[in-house]
């Protein structure tokens, strides 16, 4: 998933064993809508459902006639379906193999079809409003699961007044040690995609304001 100006929204749910799921909807340069999603497993041996890798990304390229409204519906349905399936992970055999794949997927389908809707993890939805990525990052940062982002992408962040542009929780001293930081004037050394994006966005805004004054 890339957090950039093409991002439309993000969906997330946690699973009680520390695993989680994240999906994102974005629009490609050619206009097609894309839904990306992945599972993240705390420890592979704790995840007896679906695939055993620590993280698997999947990409669904939506039909070119799919409207944005319909794409949002699809994203929400997928998140709902998988969060329901997640509820039953303890009833599934140890992981998926080439031999049991059909059986396991059938069992998930049966469980989900007969599900009453109770007890599934809550799905959080965060949309990018009016292209405002700064606000989006703030909303993501305020989510209790925002540490996921930290764990996923150790990076060089841009820090101003003790806070990273990507809104990592806490001050730099509280971050996992793989994370580094630079001041805005050294932004060229930053690698955090969100920080760089927010930085570029702020610079563009400043240039627009300066142009308006002159």
Contacts for 137 with CB less than 8 Å, ≥ 6 apart:
3, 165, 166, 167, 194, 198
Q: How far apart, in whole angstroms, are the C-alpha atoms of residue 57 and residue 108?
A: 20
- From 7, 50, 133, 195, residue interacting with Zn ion (rule: CB under 5 A): 195
- In the complex with Zn ion, the residue whose CB is nearer, 42 or 154, is 154
- Provide φ and ψ at 77, rounded to 5°: -65, -45
> What are the strands, taking DSSP E only, across the chain?
7-14, 20-27, 33-40, 55-61, 124-127, 156-160, 163-164, 180-182
Q: Spell out, one character per residue from 58 to 77, where the chain touches Zn ion: x when CB under 5 A holds, - when not.
A: --------------------
Shortest spacing between CB 140 and Zn ion, in angstroms? 11
Footprint of Zn ion on residues 100-119 (CB under 5 A)? none
Shortest spacing between CB 155 and Zn ion, in angstroms? 6
- In the complex with Zn ion, the residue whose CB is nearer, 111 or 187, is 187
Which string of DSSP letters, residue by residue, matches 137-178?
HHHHHTSTTTHHHHHH---EEEEETTEETT--SS-GGGS-TT
- In the complex with Zn ion, the residue whose CB is nearer, 24 or 164, is 164
Footprint of Zn ion on residues 142-181 (CB under 5 A)? 157, 164, 166
- In the complex with Zn ion, the residue whose CB is nearer, 12 or 41, is 12
Write out the residues near Zn ion by the rule CB under 5 A. 157, 164, 166, 192, 195
């Amino acid at each position: 998933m890339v957090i950039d100006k093409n991002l439309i929204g993000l969906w997330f749910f946690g699973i009680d064993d520390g695993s989680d799921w994240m999906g994102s909807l974005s629009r490609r340069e050619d206009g097609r809508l894309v839904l990306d999603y992945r599972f993240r497993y705390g420890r592979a041996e704790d995840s007896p459902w679906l695939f055993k890798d620590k993280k698997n990304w999947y990409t669904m390229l939506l039909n070119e006639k799919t409207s944005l409204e319909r794409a949002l519906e699809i994203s929400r349905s997928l998140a709902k379906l998988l969060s329901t399936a997640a509820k039953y992970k303890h009833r599934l055999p140890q992981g998926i193999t080439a031999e049991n794949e059909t059986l396991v997927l059938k069992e998930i389908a049966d469980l989900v079809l007969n599900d009453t809707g109770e007890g599934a993890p809550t799905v959080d939805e965060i949309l990018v409003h009016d292209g405002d990525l700064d606000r989006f990052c703030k909303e993501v940062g305020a989510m209790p699961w925002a540490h996921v982002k930290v764990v996923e992408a150790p990076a060089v962040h841009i820090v101003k007044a003790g806070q990273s542009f990507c809104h990592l929780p806490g001050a730099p001293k509280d971050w996992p040690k793989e994370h580094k930081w630079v001041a805005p004037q050294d932004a060229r050394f930053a690698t955090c995609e969100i920080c760089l994006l927010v930085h570029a966005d702020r610079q563009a805004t400043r240039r627009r304001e300066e142009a308006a004054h002159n």
